[in-house]
Structure 1
Amino acid sequence: MRSQDVRKQFLDFFASKGHLIVPSAPIVLKDDPTLMFNNSGMAQFKEYFLGNGTPKSTRIADTQKCLRVSGKHNDLEDVGFDTYHHTMFEMLGNWSFGDYFKKEAINWAWQLLTEVYKIPKENLYVSVFEGNPDENVPFDQEAWDIWKELIDEDRIILGNKKDNFWEMGDQGPCGPCSEIHVDIRSAEEKALVSGKSLVNNDHPQVVEIWNNVFMEFNRKADGSLEKLPAKHVDTGMGFERLCMALQGKTSNYDTDVFTPLIEKVEQITGLKYTSNEVLNISEEQNKTNIAIRVVVDHVRAVAFAIADGQLPSNTGAGYVIRRILRRAIRYGFTFLNTKEPFINQLVAVLANQMGEFFPEIKAQQQLVTNVIREEEASFLRTLDQGLQLLENVVAETKGSTVSGTKAFELYDTFGFPIDLTALILREKGFELDEAGFNAAMQEQKNRSRAASEVSTEDWSVLIPGNLETFVGYDQSESDVKITRIRKVDSKKDGVLYQIVLDNTPFYPEGGGQVGDKGTLVSANETIEIIDTKKENNLILHFAKKLPENVNAGFVAKVNQDLRSLSSRNHSATHLMHQALRSILGTHVEQKGSLVNPNYLRFDFSHFAKMTEAELQQVEDFVNARIQEQLPLVERRNIPFAQAVQEGAMALFGEKYGDEVRAIKFGESMELCGGIHVKNTAEIWHFKIVSEGAVAAGIRRIEAITSDAVKAHFASYENTLNEVKAALKNPQDILKAVHSMQEENAKLAKQIEALVKDKVKNLKAGLIAEIQEINGVQFLAKQVDLNPEGAKDLAYELGNLGNNLFLVLATADQDKPMLTCYVSKELVAEKNLNAGQVVRELGKFIQGGGGGQPFFATAGGKNVAGIQQALEKAIEFVR
């Protein structure tokens, strides 16, 4: 059965049971501060389990893209070494929100597996929760009785809290679960060892494929449990493992989910992957297999994350994606002998394979390919640099053990993988101080953990059952009551209070726009709101203190000055997006944005640096729309499909509901939930302040509007006045500058001529100082020249004859520089390399450099080290 058919049959089955089929949410979470990525099928439905929203159907089914590489669920280091863990995986799920419960969930799961998919019943085991007296949660008798009607009792296993009580996190909805495990071992193996004994014992062919979670409790901050007002079902079935069972394989990687990718890697590298069916695999082949599994798994995670809008970066979710990709590159570099970018070539295979069901990977194929290619090239350069730095570390090491602290510096500062460090050291006959490395790593983790520690109390509910209403599109003030509060204590921000209101004019951070600030005012006090965010469909108002009387009536007042500035920047962002698509082409798509009161930042897909003319065209386009005084045309609660059909732009990686809000200024029409001006005239003026690259195929523009533009022009005027004063207030400033440039050019030519004369004069004297050592003409000398003069002198001396090894030092403007020249015959015959020479000698001047084997330079900052470097140079020819 093809994997596409497996997916379709699951969705068709639950559609027949009255379930609404919904698309996968993006793999990257943008509006949930508690998670970086969707790490389970239920993540997009959290608000319904918490009672903070109403689902469009009480029965839903889907397949969700998931990523487990951080936090509680972290499978990254297992990936590649076994055959059933993945970074990205699909979670097939069916959901009941207060509708059916255990009986239907268990019976339908059994029906689908045994009657539709026709998995033999004798290959299946199930588990139920054994109970936990400490928490007053009894044995799940109901689930046991239901399973007893479907399967022999000796195939029902009692599971403990770790295996059979599922929790969203330290707090929140949770409940007992019933897992279904499949035994895909051979008949001979089953005869020798019962599959029942292998359940939940990490056996690669006795694996969990489905988990039915019965949500009926809420975990409170103090660890206690309370009953939820309604009972829910949350199920998840691993798509890749299911395909393994249905396709008669013993490894997920032998299914058609992965084989097309594996075949492409084989084609690129010339190496062969060995199926899990093959016995007695050599150690070398096993390393190849692991590396190929790492690559084909990781490219899926990285490609879908980029398609959903998360670019690799050095912070947050972007760092996680970069780390996954670099792990794949490193395995290819070390075990597949790939020294050039190659992983990007797998994107086309992936798009062809999964594009029908996940159209985002097809639509974003070129961008994903470009970003991965550039990341590969960059990290391969880092690996090359790391190898050179590791050589320096080895050279400085006394004894046979390399410092773990030094290895950690390579890992932490340059991203050089520790396992590669250990491998290279072993090849060179050195050992790694692993304890020292682990200690340095743990110290960093402790610092990071301490900085991010957060303690969150339970909600204190003042007005039960009340869901707040956002009124901020129409008003900036509102009479409100506080419905719930909780305290949050973090190392980063200290103690803050999160306040939920019955209605609010405060816009919560989202869609790139920062959250509103303002005040809550009662008859007796004023509470400052320092930020507004959204979490699980609740709008949270952050304050440093609580009102003395939380039951009082308040007026919620948005800081209108800050909101007005943000709205101008947000509306200008829409106009700029339209301008870019008009001027550069419709391939331009938004890939990220930030809108705050001070400026706007906009990331977009484009393949080349924008020219000055193009930037001016964008400015002119936006300012023309401002001059036209276009009114805001806002449409709320229109069907998503209708809005897109009418021309509204939807962004990849954003999660849209069935009903959306469309914002239109003239011909610019986008789906957006942010705050906007009523008329483009309010923006006043638009000015681009910078344009640059973020990643391959991604550019970034930063721009300003309104008051910031006025301040910008005022600053330029002040600078112009200062330049004018420095030039003695000429009538024509441009003419004065051109005159100064001409005079400077004349002086530069005069200096150049003087340096050449000086080189000629020095040359004659230095020839006499050259000495012969072991057949090499050697000279190491400090000269009173600038670096360019030293280069000219080196070539002048080099042209006089053969076998010259020359090191010149300069200290022009107190900046030490070493210049090394090696005759080409010495490079070939004596294995002398100018690049290696300056890297070694550069240490004495606290610097480094490089170049070609016959000519290289190194700069530094320690002039006092020049003499020692020159004295050391002679050792290269002795």
Structure 2
Amino acid sequence: MTAKKIRQSFKDYFENKNHKIVSSSPMIIKNDPTLMFTNAGMNQFKDVILGNALVKYTRIANVQKCLRVNGKHNDLEEVGHDTYHHTMFEMLGNWSFGDYFKKEAIEYAWEYLTEILKLDKDRLYVTIFEGNSSEKLERDNEAANYWGKYLPKSHIIDGNKKDNFWEMGNMGPCGPCSEIHIDIRSDEEREKVDSLTLINKNHPQVIEIWNLVFMQFNRKIDGSLENLPQKVIDTGMGFERLCMVVQGKASNYDTDVFQTIIQAISTITKFSYGQNSQRDIAIRVVADHIRTIAFSIADGQLPSNTKAGYVIRRILRRAVRYSYTFLEQKRAFIYRLIPSLVDSMGEVYPELIAQKKMMQKVIKEEENSFLQTLEIGTKLLNKKIQEAKTKNKTTINGVDVFILYDTYGFPLDLIKLILHEQNMKMDKASFDAEMSKQKERARNATTIETGDWIVLQEGDTQFVGYDTITTQARILRCRKVKQKNTEYYQIVLDKTPFYAEMGGQIGDSGQLIDSNGISISIIDTKCENNLVIHIINQLPENLYDTFNAEVDARKRRATECNHTATHLLHEALRLVLGTHVEQKGSYVSSEVLRFDFSHFKKVTEKEIRQLEKIITKKIRQNIALEEKRHIPLVEARRLGAIALFYEKYEENVRVIKFGSSIELCGGTHTTSTGYIGNFRIISEFSISAGIRRIEAITAEKVESFFYAQQDIIHNAKMLLNHTSDLLQSIKKLISENILLKKQVETYNREKTIFIKNQVIKTKKQTPSGINLFILEGFFPASIVKDIAFQIGSEFTEKSYFAAATVAEGKPLLTIMISNDLVKNGLNASQIVREASKIIKGNGGGQSHFATAGGKDINGLPMALKEILNKVH
């Protein structure tokens, strides 16, 4: 069976078992602070499992694209070194929410594997939870008995808590699980070594293919367990491994899932897969990582230096590193694999087809950027190696290595490889110390401790913020949160007008007023796992009171103006630049709006003016908001509503329409465009390959902006003697400045020649015949450098130039040494670094030319003496 047929057979089987087949959610996670990426099929059902969302379907199955870069058996640096672990993978899963449980889950899994896929029953093994006495958890005899209907006891293995008790985290839903393993070794190998001894031992051909999780407990913050009111079945089967088993391959990479990409890699690099173990690892790394990178970009996550974007950039750079080192690819080539990926997976995931051009642009730019980093990093590392060798050292300072690794992004394993080739090594202790400091800083910045929710009353939150900014409300639940030594509280209300941060729009702030008139500030509103969470600094005295919940009206109205303006901007961009423009992200606050969009060149000043005119015209037309709530997604698309390709929408959606601007949107908006008042674009720039960003302001912010511009013009006129023609006066000033600059340059050239000649006239010679050229005094740094190079070009042998000068009130040391003296062991960079300590500074440069600045002018004579003492 092909991969495509296997994937479809899974969907067909569970559809016949009355499961609702749902589409994959994006790999990029939103509104869940505990996750950056979808790392399991259950992620999109987390709200249902936690009880924060209603159960729409009690039986569900799907194929989910996932990304894992750490965790059990998934260290990023190991991917590619074996044949069955990946960063991006597909997870086949079926779920039951309060419907069937262990008996049916086991029956379905067994029937699908043995009857539909025809896997050899004799090669299948299962593990069940052995129990845990310290937590008073009993052995899962129920699952063992159900498995006993299909497998002999010898194929049913007790597993420990680590392998056979699934937990969402330190708290939350959890329960025992059964893993299904298969041994695909040859009969001869199976006779030699018993399969039972290889289960969960990371053997590449004795592997887990399916995990059936039986969620029946909820773990509280104190570690105790309570029964879930509604039991859940959550299963996950790795698609790539399943294809390997069904297709009779020894490696996931030998299946048709990867072979199209691998063949493309071989064609481009001229290296065949299976000929060299080190190159095979590199080919597997690239084949795996191109999928991760492409799917992430298609889902709206661009490589960057923060959070999820940093992870994607790290994965891409790992692929570049392997192709650079082992596949001899010194120029960008990974982006050329996108057509092969689209050909093999585009039919199943149409977002790849839609974003093909974008993926190629972004990846190519990222490749070129990192290849430059590799070149710069190699030069910097070689410099450190030469400096160490000059001092007869074989160890590089770990701090220097960490700077290369952390600041320049130079890969650690490549650093080690280069050092090994030079018979050098790094000081691991100092490197580890720097790494520990960085991790501690990261932990301190991100660690959040949350307590258990205290449930005051049952119920769900009703959001009324589209229609009002005030309402009466009661608290449903609350909990304490601690982050970076700061404590605050989170509360959930039964009814709220507060919009929770989502879809680029910031969360509302405001106040909660109790029946005694005491006000508590709501400083922010977040959406987390389908809960609207209000953040406050202190809890009310009476948690069971009825409160007035009031949104900050000024801030909300300003935010609405900016949000409505983003819709008008989106439409205007497509009119002015073309229909290729797609929204790639946005940020809407009360202060500013930011809109990211696909476009492959700078937006010109003329185009910006066009955009502003189109939007301002729509503002003056005072177009009324037309809103449709809870309409079917199919109907919304029929109306022409723009949907973001990387969003997963509910079956029923909200449509926002301002004239010809029609979009799916959950944010808050003005009742008509006239409320926006004014609109101005304040900046436009590139944030990535093919992605531009516009920042703009509306309403009162535009007024403030114009007043500030008027003040600048007024002050400029005053500085130019109250000129009536500001532009002409500036042009005249520039012309005069250019003329004066030319005069100064002429003067400096003449001055430089004069000083140089004076230095040459006063040259000295050492007993060994070295020409000493010495310069002292107050001179600009540029003149000193010019003199040094002029003397160096005239005296190409046995010349040594040393300057101790003052520029702009600061001491400066400059050294120029002829090449023959450098070959004899003199090093300008080393000499100037040592002398710079006397003037309380530092510096460096090349072996023939170096400079140093400092703080202590009084130390210049001693520093010059130190420099001259280096020659005899």
Fold shared by both chains (TM-score > 0.5): yes
Distance 2:671 2:104 in 1: 52
**Mapped contact 1:129–1:161 kept (Cα < 8 A):** yes
Q: For the structure 1 residues 109 and 831, does the alpha-carbon distance in structure 2 shift closer, same or farther, using more than 3 Å as the test?
A: farther
> 1:446 maps to which residue?
440
| Paired AA for residue 54 in structure 2 | T
Distance 2:731 2:663 in 1: 48
Moved more, 556-565 or 609-618: 609-618
| Paired AA for residue 456 in structure 1 | T
Distance 2:856 2:262 in 1: 55
Name the % identity.
50
| Paired AA for residue 343 in structure 2 | N
> 1:501 maps to which residue?
493
| Pairs within 5 Å for 1:671-682 | 671-682=664-675
**Mapped contact 1:841–1:872 kept (Cα < 8 A):** no
TM-fit CA distance, 1:871: 9.2
SS in 1 for 2:34: coil
**Mapped contact 2:39–2:68 kept (Cα < 8 A):** yes
> 1:735 maps to which residue?
728
1:462 matched to 2:453 = no
> 1:369 maps to which residue?
360
Distance 1:129 1:74 in 2: 22
| Pairs within 5 Å for 1:635-714 | 635-714=628-707
1:512 matched to 2:507 = no
Distance 2:501 2:551 in 1: 14
Distance 2:433 2:544 in 1: 51
> 2:527 maps to which residue?
534
| Paired AA for residue 436 in structure 2 | Q
Distance 1:123 1:805 in 2: 81
Q: For the structure 1 residues 730 and 222, does the alpha-carbon distance in structure 2 shift closer, same or farther, using more than 3 Å as the test?
A: same
1:402 matched to 2:393 = no
> 1:212 maps to which residue?
212
| Pairs within 5 Å for 1:702-851 | 702-762=695-755, 764-765=757-758, 813=808, 846=842
Distance 2:831 2:177 in 1: 62
Distance 1:299 1:23 in 2: 22
1:53 matched to 2:53 = yes
SS in 2 for 1:24: coil
**Mapped contact 1:75–1:85 kept (Cα < 8 A):** no
> 1:177 maps to which residue?
177
Distance 2:856 2:282 in 1: 47
1:262 matched to 2:262 = yes
TM-fit CA distance, 1:872: 10
Q: For the structure 1 residues 165 and 795, does the alpha-carbon distance in structure 2 shift closer, same or farther, using more than 3 Å as the test?
A: closer
SS in 2 for 1:702: strand
| Paired AA for residue 200 in structure 2 | N
Distance 2:612 2:629 in 1: 30
Q: For the structure 1 residues 869 and 638, does the alpha-carbon distance in structure 2 shift closer, same or farther, using more than 3 Å as the test?
A: farther
TM-fit CA distance, 1:362: 1.6
Distance 1:820 1:584 in 2: 55
TM-fit CA distance, 1:323: 1.5
> 1:111 maps to which residue?
111
| Pairs within 5 Å for 1:540-619 | 540-619=533-612
TM-fit CA distance, 1:801: 9.3
Q: For the structure 1 residues 261 and 767, does the alpha-carbon distance in structure 2 shift closer, same or farther, using more than 3 Å as the test?
A: farther
1:425 matched to 2:416 = no
Distance 2:771 2:313 in 1: 49
1:247-298 CA-to-partner distances (Å, cap 9, x unmatched) read: 11111122122222222222232323228xxxxxxxxx33222222222212
Moved more, 223-232 or 780-789: 780-789
1:603-624 CA-to-partner distances (Å, cap 9, x unmatched) read: 1111112222122222222112
SS in 2 for 1:257: helix
SS in 2 for 1:244: helix
Distance 1:440 1:250 in 2: 41
| Paired AA for residue 226 in structure 2 | E
TM-fit CA distance, 1:787: 6.4
Moved more, 700-709 or 126-135: 126-135
Q: For the structure 1 residues 247 and 72, does the alpha-carbon distance in structure 2 shift closer, same or farther, using more than 3 Å as the test?
A: closer
| Paired AA for residue 2 in structure 2 | R
TM-fit CA distance, 1:633: 1.1
Q: For the structure 1 residues 757 and 603, does the alpha-carbon distance in structure 2 shift closer, same or farther, using more than 3 Å as the test?
A: same
Q: For the structure 1 residues 194 and 367, does the alpha-carbon distance in structure 2 shift closer, same or farther, using more than 3 Å as the test?
A: same
> 2:30 maps to which residue?
30
| Paired AA for residue 175 in structure 2 | G
SS in 2 for 1:704: strand
**Mapped contact 1:819–1:838 kept (Cα < 8 A):** no
| Paired AA for residue 404 in structure 2 | L
Q: For the structure 1 residues 753 and 538, does the alpha-carbon distance in structure 2 shift closer, same or farther, using more than 3 Å as the test?
A: same
1:96 matched to 2:96 = yes
Q: For the structure 1 residues 548 and 731, does the alpha-carbon distance in structure 2 shift closer, same or farther, using more than 3 Å as the test?
A: same
TM-fit CA distance, 1:539: 0.8
TM-fit CA distance, 1:861: 6.6
> 1:237 maps to which residue?
237
TM-fit CA distance, 1:816: 8.2
TM-fit CA distance, 1:800: 6.8
Distance 1:527 1:605 in 2: 43
| Paired AA for residue 739 in structure 1 | K
Distance 2:186 2:285 in 1: 27
1:332 matched to 2:323 = yes
**Mapped contact 1:818–1:842 kept (Cα < 8 A):** no
- Give the TM-score taking structure 1 as reference length: 0.91
**Mapped contact 2:832–2:852 kept (Cα < 8 A):** no
Distance 2:314 2:794 in 1: 52
Distance 2:234 2:357 in 1: 36
Distance 1:868 1:199 in 2: 73
Distance 1:304 1:780 in 2: 63
> 2:370 maps to which residue?
379
Distance 2:431 2:789 in 1: 45
Distance 1:388 1:753 in 2: 37
| Paired AA for residue 188 in structure 1 | E
Distance 1:92 1:840 in 2: 65
| Paired AA for residue 229 in structure 1 | P
> 1:299 maps to which residue?
290
**Mapped contact 2:73–2:85 kept (Cα < 8 A):** no
Distance 1:330 1:775 in 2: 50
**Mapped contact 1:755–1:785 kept (Cα < 8 A):** no
TM-fit CA distance, 1:802: 7.6
**Mapped contact 1:533–1:539 kept (Cα < 8 A):** yes
Distance 1:770 1:373 in 2: 55
**Mapped contact 2:828–2:845 kept (Cα < 8 A):** no
Moved more, 474-483 or 406-415: 406-415
Distance 1:418 1:316 in 2: 20
| Paired AA for residue 291 in structure 1 | A
1:612-660 CA-to-partner distances (Å, cap 9, x unmatched) read: 2122222222112111111111111111122123211111222211111
SS in 1 for 2:35: coil
**Mapped contact 2:616–2:679 kept (Cα < 8 A):** yes
Distance 1:213 1:816 in 2: 71
Distance 1:460 1:702 in 2: 42
Distance 1:207 1:819 in 2: 65
TM-fit CA distance, 1:813: 3.9
Q: For the structure 1 residues 677 and 779, does the alpha-carbon distance in structure 2 shift closer, same or farther, using more than 3 Å as the test?
A: same
TM-fit CA distance, 1:753: 2.2
Distance 2:660 2:811 in 1: 59
SS in 1 for 2:150: coil
| Paired AA for residue 545 in structure 1 | Q
TM-fit CA distance, 1:191: 0.7
**Mapped contact 1:780–1:873 kept (Cα < 8 A):** no
TM-fit CA distance, 1:222: 0.8
How many matched pairs? 860
| Paired AA for residue 683 in structure 1 | I
| Paired AA for residue 67 in structure 1 | L
Q: Structure 2: 5+ residue runs without aligned partners?
A: none
